[in-house]
Amino acid sequence: YPELDAPLGEVLLTPTRIYVKTILELIKQYEIKGIAHITGGGFLENIPRIFPENIGAKIDIDSFTIPPVFRLLWEKSAMTKEQIFNTFNMGIGMVLCVSNQISQQVLNSAQELGEKAYIIGHTVKGQGIKL
């Protein structure tokens, strides 16, 4: 697949990113209200676990770059948006929940630590994740 930088098998076997050093540094500097590792269960199952009852999130899927391998899987599988975001991390391996007042500072710090970081959404009243 020309859109991938390597053979599909190699791309699919790319090791999981480890975020420990980044997270430890950020929690020293900022009040992090919640952390969700986006693994099996994707966005829809993992993010709600960090919120209290009656709090959910609205995720803007256009706020970050979806890696080509996930776009390819989405296209070839004919999965719905909800199915693909519930199955894969879509390039977002870790989500931090912080107050709006410090979100840009946390973003800048994460980027300075070498992470590709984005503000991908905000909390809302209700439950679950809205894409």
pLDDT in tens, 93-121: 999 999 999 999 999 999 999 999 999 99
Lowest mean pLDDT across 37-41, 59-63, 88-92? 37-41
Summarize the confidence of residues 52-67 as an average pLDDT: 96
Whole-angstrom Cα distance, residue 122 to residue 78?
28
The pLDDT score that the predictor gives to residue 61 is 96
H or E element: which one contains 84? helix 81-87
Q: Please, which contacts does 112-115 make with residues 24 or more away whose CB atoms are closer than 8 Å?
A: 113/21, 113/22, 113/25, 113/26, 114/22, 115/19, 115/22
The pLDDT score that the predictor gives to residue 40 is 79
Name, in order, each residue with C-beta under 8 angstroms of 9's C-beta and a sequence gap of 6 or more: none
Summarize the confidence of residues 72-81 as an average pLDDT: 94
Q: Tokens standing for 5?
A: 């930088």
Contact between 72 and 120 under an 8 Å Cβ cutoff? The reply is no
| Average pLDDT across the chain, whole number | 95
Whole-structure pTM value: 0.91
